[in-house]
Amino acid sequence: MEIESAECECCGLREDCTPDYISNVKADFGGRWLCGLCSESVKDEAGKAGTGEIEDAMRAHMSFCGKFNANPAIRVAEGMRHMLRSASSRRLGRSF
Ligand SMILES: [Zn+2]
């Protein structure tokens, strides 16, 4: 299956997704791609506001996310993912 790398417009997290998934998310968020966590929060906020205004909720979430853009926790999480990924590819390499 075809895989593309998408970058979250909120927190900058990169995820490898299918083009279908990427365009679905973009359709939900006015042409922007958000990672799973951010899209959940935005939908949650839009639901809580009762307006269903994704655009407003997204702007609010982006400014919230922006404050934590240098959040080391996000970097740690990303680093862990890379570590796990390279660990599993090493395992694969050995069994071949
Ligand atoms: Zn995000």
Tens digits of pLDDT across the chain (96 residues): 799 999 999 888 999 999 999 999 999 999 999 999 999 999 988 888 776 688 889 988 888 776 655 555 655 566 666 666 666 655 555 544
Looking at residue 85, its pLDDT comes to 67
Looking at residue 70, its pLDDT comes to 54
What's the gap in Å between 8 CA and the centre of ligand 1?
5
**Inter-residue contact 61 to 32 (CB < 8 Å):** no
**Inter-residue contact 53 to 29 (CB < 8 Å):** no
The residue ranges of every structural domain in the chain are 4-69
What's the gap in Å between 93 CA and the centre of ligand 1?
32
Looking at residue 93, its pLDDT comes to 56
Q: Give the DSSP per-residue string, 2-53.
A: --EEEE-TTT--EEEE-HHHHHHHHHHTTT----HHHHHHHHHHHHHHSS--
Looking at residue 77, its pLDDT comes to 64
User: Counting Cβ atoms within 10 Å, is residue 86 exposed (0-12), middle (13-18) or buried (19+)?
Assistant: exposed
What's the gap in Å between 74 CA and the centre of ligand 1?
9
What's the gap in Å between 40 CA and the centre of ligand 1?
9
Looking at residue 29, its pLDDT comes to 92
Ion ligand 1: residue ranges with CB closer than 5 A: 8, 10-11, 13, 35, 38
What's the gap in Å between 94 CA and the centre of ligand 1?
34
